[in-house]
Amino acid sequence: MNMKAWWIPLLFAITIELNNKLCHAKGDLSENSNESKGDLSKNSGESKEDTKENSDGSKGGRSGKSGESKGGLSKNSGESKGNRSGESGESKGGLSKNSGESKEGSGACKYDLIFVLDMSSSIGPSGFEKTKDYVIETINKSKVGHEQTQIGIITFSDDAKMDIPLKQYKKKEKLIEAIRSIQWKGGVTNIFKGLNVLRLEGFTKKNGYRKKMEKIGILVTDGKSTNEQETHSEVELLESEGIKLFTKGISDDIDEEALRTIGDEVPEINCL
């Protein structure tokens, strides 16, 4: 063998060995790289999933809390509104009821009212004073005037007359003074004549009756009418003309049965 060529096979063998080792190293490196990438990808995937899970959990938590908060707010808001509405309703409600009671208490209702007063002998002078006391007590519960309750007075015994027309007095004090000045007369008890004047003269425009006002008459007597048939006829005529008639018994000897046939007893009221 040529001494110069001996190293060629050796170089070839070394080259092959180096190539094998290099390929083996590349394979290990590739495998490690792939495993590293796989682990990294896996870890990255897990990290993303964890992040997503945490994010979703966080969002869910926030959403849940937000929903609960909104729900709570809505509920509380609803309750608050409900309470305000209830309180307002009660207040309004309270405000309306009190207003009605206030009106009744202050005598703010309006009527055209005429008292028909018995001044016959059966009533007597002391009975007639009691009659006037009753009328004045009733007037004191009212606001008197052309824009409030108007009061008229009719007296009867043998005959009947309009002593005080509805329109005559604007001031309560003047009205009471005029009633106090009426003197007892005596005579028979012609209730029907008193009621006749009430029907024909009491509620006329001339004497101050206000259109569409209730027409109310209060008969103050002992009930012992001179002519019952004529009295009952007048009662029917009064009713047909829309005049409400009440009765009030005065004296120590009242014919209550006779009074019931004429009209209902005056109700207990705080204003007229």
What confidence tens digit (pLDDT) does each residue in 132-169 have? 999 999 999 888 988 899 999 999 999 999 999 999 99
Span 117-122, average pLDDT:
95
Q: What is the pTM of this model?
A: 0.60
Contact between 197 and 156 (Cβ < 8 Å): yes
Strand order of the β-sheet with 112-118 is 160-164, 150-156, 112-118, 215-221, 243-249, 264-265
Q: How many CA atoms lie within 13 A of 89 on its CB side?
A: 6
For the chain, what percent of residues have pLDDT higher than 70? 58
In this predicted structure, the answer to whether residue 265 has a pLDDT above a threshold of 80 is yes
Per residue in 18-77, pLDDT (tens digit) is 656 655 555 554 555 445 454 544 444 444 444 444 445 444 444 444 444 444 444 444
Per residue in 226-248, pLDDT (tens digit) is 889 999 999 999 999 999 999 99
Helices and strands (H, E) in the chain, number of each type: 6, 6
Q: How many CA atoms lie within 13 A of 227 on its CB side?
A: 15
User: What's the rounded Cα separation, in Å, for the pair 27 and 30?
Assistant: 5
- For domain 112-265, give the fold: Rossmann fold (3.40.50)
> What is the structure's pLDDT at 26?
52
Per residue in 201-214, pLDDT (tens digit) is 999 999 999 998 99
Mean pLDDT of the chain: 74
User: What's the rounded Cα separation, in Å, for the pair 105 and 75?
Assistant: 43
- As a whole number of angstroms, the longest Cα–Cα distance in the chain is 187
> What is the structure's pLDDT at 142?
84
> What is the structure's pLDDT at 15?
63
User: What's the rounded Cα separation, in Å, for the pair 148 and 180?
Assistant: 22
> What is the structure's pLDDT at 225?
87
> What is the structure's pLDDT at 20?
61
The residue ranking higher by pLDDT, 125 or 29, is: 125
The residue ranking higher by pLDDT, 31 or 120, is: 120
Domains of the chain, residue spans = 9-104, 112-265
